[in-house]
């Protein structure tokens, strides 16, 4: 460059015209041959001095430079340059960076003649072969024994390479990198095991085409388990690899059922519709002709709403067509869960929780054994939309559709819809500023509206034309008025309520004489608008009494005790509304001979029932107690006293009917909650009747103490407790994580404590269970601390209302899990019914974490739900179809 600069200056000077005053120098000697060669190069620089046409555009692209990127290299020990061979050698923690490609190794040799880069490890006597090469391009990382990489073509050849792509760990003897997105491998094995050098299983392929983050395509491939080849092999295989949801086929499971024969179950297709919605279509088929179908969808829009929908249909056949024991039945179930983010629209909310279908679906389904759902007697649903109009006063409106279904009686109750509206509480006499004082300023009222269209039908008529035959509807308006004020140490409140009910059908009753001369009641429906109005009123007085005791001994364990008593007395009255009642007569308007005078209301059987005909006036008495204490902590280093509850609650309630002519006193009700430990409470309840019984065990208007008995007669008593114990309760730690509840079980009305068993849904992917153990936990053969948990529930009911003197209900239920090792767990649930002398619903379950595999076994040994289910499969979602399950389902009832 320096020579070029001098030559250009010389040429430019030679073209200048000398002035006349300047003498012409003598002729210079001719240059030698070597000098002429040197001048040949700079003479070409005359071209840029010509005029350039700025309007002409050069469309020819300039050729790329010899190196597209600059090579950056580092090494810990040395960087040696061999000019003769034109190579560069980097040693010890060598590293080169070329664009997005990075190579790290113990030794790297760069050949500038061919563009090849060789990377090796180094041999250390004490450590062996160390600092093996690491080839990185973007997010793809390969760890071979050696690398040959050409920086011009960017192709690479690696030996004994190891790479991780998604859930796969791939090891290959020879790997050829063709470009940025295609690798060819020879004698490769791939696995989802977390220890690829010593995997529990792997797939061995002779040839592989590997596209990172997209797919693995292989030739002949075999499955090896513990380095032992298995007969599981394919002439070719395709394994998708992506972190995104993709549509694809779901392979069915194969098996045999005693009742329906061989089957293919839960096969279908998964549609990844978009980022907010997916769709799963599954089907079942049995060789005797039974079949089933299911549709599942999950949706979510962040910060707005989320939910899931599931529809299942089954057509079950018993035996074969033409046989005497042949039977056919169809069942279905619809489950929809929808929730809205409260922040998306604070003044408007939509929610849904739907679980409806055939009453016997969960008990007879051949596609799942939801053990908790089989014991549930009711299916319920609710779809609700509510809207709030802020302001003064605030207006709230909601519309809902509800469903309640008794699976034992097959009775279905629906409200389509229920309309509710309210105006917030208003204080018409309150001052504009300051607090409200006195009874007058605290007077408040509000308006409530409730309308229903109620339908009662059966499981057979549900969703048919007949379900609307017995529909009734109506509207109820209510205006509650209340006030409260202080009277010394007492809190006084008064209330009144006005109601107006609108109905669109009433019922007329008459007496009709049959052929035998007996008069029967006949009901006729009268269509048309009708209304009735009622009102009620009451008042209450209450206070709070505190009693305390402090210990004079500072070393005493109990330092203070506080007793809180809340007595309350209230009065309520409901007038008689005789104007809405008529005398029951014959069609001719006459009383039936030989019958007592009877009255009826045309509003009997309407939505809100008939108004009361009997005047009621009663005084209610109640006392509530709780006892707390401050005690010294067991830890002597803590000086602050600890607050505990000795008695959570103990209440006494009774009432006296002022309008009654006999049996004025109601039974005394006692309720109590006694804490035993932090997590254990005992719930007690009892009823004491002050009146005696006659010889027919009927209550009479005579106090029991005046009939030779005690002051009160125990008529009912109950005892309930439920608690959970675990190994964490005996450890000094404050972090206690409860077991995650099963969403499917809760959606179907089950329990999350495992007392009624855990859900086993065959149609769900059993391999997708969350691992309980962290991969970094040391897997000891033995352990001194065994995690465990136990759930207990005990209930007992004693009745003696009519001298039964018996315990009619008494049962104990237990469930629990024990982790014998970090990867072995055993659990189950059982119980005993002491009243009926029998074992309640029982299950046993085993689970084994095989690192890459999961294995589970669930068994219901006794009862009508006698069944078992065994499953083993690969955990990774990419290989979730590689599984085996076997089961015996409960015998269906037709």
Do 566 and 504 belong together in one domain?
Answer: no
Is there a domain that residue 352 lies in?
no
pLDDT score at 182: 87
Do 43 and 138 belong together in one domain?
Answer: no
Do 38 and 123 belong together in one domain?
Answer: no
pLDDT tens per residue across span 570-615: 999 999 999 999 988 887 777 777 677 889 999 998 999 999 999 9
Do 532 and 625 belong together in one domain?
Answer: no
Q: Look at 48 and 83; give whichever has higher pLDDT.
A: 83
- Cα separation, 851 vs 823, in Å, equals 8
- Cα separation, 758 vs 752, in Å, equals 8
pLDDT score at 702: 93
The residue range of the domain holding 203 is 72-240
Is there a domain that residue 354 lies in?
no
pLDDT tens per residue across span 566-582: 999 999 999 999 999 99
Do 522 and 651 belong together in one domain?
Answer: no
Q: Residue 186 sits in a domain of what CATH number?
A: 2.60.450.10
pLDDT score at 774: 43
Do 81 and 186 belong together in one domain?
Answer: yes
pLDDT score at 482: 96
b/e code 456-489 from CB counts within 10 Å (16+ = b) = ebebebbeeeebeeeebbbbbbbebebbbbeeee
For the chain, how many structural domains are there in total? 4
- Cα separation, 150 vs 137, in Å, equals 14
- Cα separation, 359 vs 329, in Å, equals 12
Mean pLDDT within 374-382: 81
Is there a domain that residue 338 lies in?
no
Is there a domain that residue 875 lies in?
no
Show the tokens assigned to 675: 């804490």
Is there a domain that residue 271 lies in?
no
Do 128 and 218 belong together in one domain?
Answer: yes
Do 12 and 99 belong together in one domain?
Answer: no
CB 307 within 8 A of CB 747: no
For all residues of the chain together, what is the average pLDDT?
82
Q: Please state, for a pLDDT cut of 70, what percent of the chain lies above it.
A: 84
Q: Look at 382 and 58; give whichever has higher pLDDT.
A: 382
pLDDT higher than threshold 50 for residue 223:
yes
DSSP per-residue letters across 386-438: EEEE-SSS-EEEEEEEEEEEETTT-EEEEEEEEEEEEEEEE-TTS-SSS---H
CB 716 within 8 A of CB 797: yes
Is omega for the bond preceding 393 within 30 degrees of 0, making it cis? yes
Q: Which of 708, 737, 766 is the last residue of a domain?
A: 737
294: left (phi over 0), alpha (psi -120 to 50) or beta: beta
Closest CA to 158 of 139, 138, 137: 137
pLDDT tens per residue across span 472-508: 999 999 999 999 999 999 999 999 999 999 999 999 9
Mean pLDDT within 235-261: 79
pLDDT score at 152: 80
Strand-pair category, 843-850 with 853-860:
antiparallel
pLDDT higher than threshold 50 for residue 739:
no
Closest CA to 847 of 825, 870, 872, 821: 825
Do 495 and 508 belong together in one domain?
Answer: yes
Do 102 and 129 belong together in one domain?
Answer: yes
Is there a domain that residue 516 lies in?
yes
**Helix orientation angle between 2-14 and 33-43, rounded to the nearest 10 degrees:** 90
- Cα separation, 501 vs 517, in Å, equals 38
Position 43 confidence tier, pLDDT thresholds 50, 70, 90: very low
Q: Which of 240, 258, 287 is the last residue of a domain?
A: 240
pLDDT score at 767: 43
- Cα separation, 713 vs 667, in Å, equals 9
Is there a domain that residue 630 lies in?
yes
pLDDT tens per residue across span 505-526: 999 998 888 878 788 888 899 9
Do 115 and 38 belong together in one domain?
Answer: no
Do 94 and 182 belong together in one domain?
Answer: yes
Show the tokens assigned to 539: 């008042």
pLDDT tens per residue across span 780-811: 555 567 888 889 999 999 999 999 999 999 99
Mean pLDDT within 19-37: 47
């Amino acid at each position: 460059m320096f020579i070029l600069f001098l030559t250009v200056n010389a040429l430019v000077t030679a073209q200048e015209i000398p002035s006349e005053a300047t003498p012409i120098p003598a002729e210079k000697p001719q240059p030698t041959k070597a000098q002429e060669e040197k001048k040949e190069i700079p003479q070409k620089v005359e071209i840029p001095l010509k005029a350039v046409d700025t309007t002409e555009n050069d469309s020819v692209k300039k050729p790329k430079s010899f190196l597209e990127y600059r090579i950056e290299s580092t090494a810990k020990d040395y960087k040696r340059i061999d000019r003769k061979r034109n190579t560069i050698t980097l040693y010890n923690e060598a590293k080169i960076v070329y664009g997005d490609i990075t190579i790290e190794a113990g030794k790297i040799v760069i050949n500038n003649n061919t563009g090849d880069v060789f990377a090796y490890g180094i041999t250390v006597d004490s450590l062996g072969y160390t600092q093996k090469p690491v080839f990185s391009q973007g997010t793809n990382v390969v760890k071979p024994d050696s690398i040959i990489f050409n920086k011009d073509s960017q192709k690479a050849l690696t030996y004994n390479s190891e790479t991780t792509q998604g859930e796969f760990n791939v090891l290959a003897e020879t790997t050829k990198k063709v470009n940025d997105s295609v690798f060819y491998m020879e004698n490769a094995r791939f696995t989802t095991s977390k220890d690829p050098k010593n995997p529990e299983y792997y797939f061995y392929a002779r040839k592989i085409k590997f596209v990172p983050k997209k797919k693995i395509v292989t030739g002949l491939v075999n499955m090896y388990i513990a380095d032992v080849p298995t007969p599981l092999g394919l002439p070719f295989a395709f394994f998708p690899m992506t972190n995104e949801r993709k549509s694809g086929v779901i392979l069915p499971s194969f098996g045999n059922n005693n009742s329906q024969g061989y089957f293919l179950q839960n096969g279908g297709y998964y549609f990844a519709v978009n980022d907010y919605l997916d769709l799963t279509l599954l089907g079942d088929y049995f060789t005797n002709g039974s079949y089933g179908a299911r549709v599942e969808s999950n949706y979510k829009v962040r910060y707005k709403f989320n939910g899931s929908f599931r529809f299942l249909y089954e057509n079950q056949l018993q035996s074969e067509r033409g046989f005497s024991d042949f039977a056919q039945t169809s069942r279905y179930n619809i489950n929809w869960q929808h929730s809205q983010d409260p922040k998306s629209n604070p003044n408007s909310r939509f929610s849904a929780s739907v679980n409806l279908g055939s009453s016997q679906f969960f008990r007879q389904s051949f596609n799942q054994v939801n053990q908790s759902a089989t014991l549930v007697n009711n299916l319920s649903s609710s779809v609700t939309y509510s809207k709030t109009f802020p302001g003064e006063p605030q207006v709230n409106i909601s519309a809902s559709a509800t469903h309640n279904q008794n699976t034992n009686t097959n009775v279905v109750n629906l409200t389509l819809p229920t309309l509710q509206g309210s105006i917030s509480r208003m204080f018409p006499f309150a001052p504009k500023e300051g607090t409200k004082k006195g009874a007058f300023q605290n007077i408040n009222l509000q308006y409530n509206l409730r309308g229903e269209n109620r339908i009662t039908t059966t499981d057979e008529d549900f969703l048919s034309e007949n379900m609307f035959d017995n529909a009734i509807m109506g509207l109820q308006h209510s205006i509650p008025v209340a006030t409260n004020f202080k009277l010394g140490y007492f809190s006084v409140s008064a209330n009144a309520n006005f109601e107006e009910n609108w109905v669109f059908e009433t019922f007329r009753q008459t007496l009709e004489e049959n052929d035998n001369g007996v008069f029967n009641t006949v009901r006729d429906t009268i269509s048309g608008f009708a209304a009735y109005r009622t009102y009620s009123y009451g008042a209450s007085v209450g206070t709070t009494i505190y009693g305390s005791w402090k210990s004079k001994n500072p070393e005493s364990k109990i330092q203070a005790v506080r007793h809180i008593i809340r007595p309350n007395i209230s009065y309520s009255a409901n007038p008689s509304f005789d104007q809405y009642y008529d005398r029951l007569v014959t069609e001719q308007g006459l009383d039936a001979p030989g019958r007592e005078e009877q009255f009826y209301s045309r509003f009997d059987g309407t939505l809100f029932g008939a108004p009361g005909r009997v005047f009621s006036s009663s005084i209610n008495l109640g006392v509530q107690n709780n006892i707390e204490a401050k005690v010294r902590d067991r830890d002597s280093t803590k000086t602050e006293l600890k607050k505990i509850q000795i008695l959570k609650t103990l209440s006494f309630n009774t009432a006296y009917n002022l309008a009654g002519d006999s049996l004025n006193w109601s039974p005394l009700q006692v309720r109590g909650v006694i804490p035993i430990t932090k997590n254990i409470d005992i719930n007690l309840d009892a009823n004491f009747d002050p009146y005696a019984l006659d010889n027919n065990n009927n209550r009479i208007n005579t106090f029991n103490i005046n009939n030779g008995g005690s002051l009160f007669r125990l008529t009912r008593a109950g005892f309930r407790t439920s608690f959970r114990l675990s190994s964490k309760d005996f450890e000094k730690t404050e972090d206690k994580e409860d077991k995650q509840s099963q969403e499917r079980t809760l959606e179907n009305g089950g329990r999350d404590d495992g007392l009624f068993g855990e859900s086993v849904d065959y149609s769900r992917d059993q391999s997708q269970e969350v691992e309980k153990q962290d991969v970094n936990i040391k897997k000891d053969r033995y352990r001194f601390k065994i995690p465990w948990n136990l759930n207990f529930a005990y209930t007992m009911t004693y009745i003696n209302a009519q001298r039964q003197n018996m315990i009619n209900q008494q049962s104990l239920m237990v469930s629990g899990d024990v982790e014998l090792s970090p990867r072995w767990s055993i659990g189950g649930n059982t119980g005993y019914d002491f009243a009926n002398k029998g074992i309640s619903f029982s299950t046993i379950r085993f689970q084994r974490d095989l690192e890459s595999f999961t294995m589970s076994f669930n068994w219901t040994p006794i009862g009508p739900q006698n069944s078992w289910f065994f499953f083993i499969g690969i955990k990774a979602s990419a290989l979730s179809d590689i599984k085996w399950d076997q089961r015996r389902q409960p015998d269906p009832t037709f």
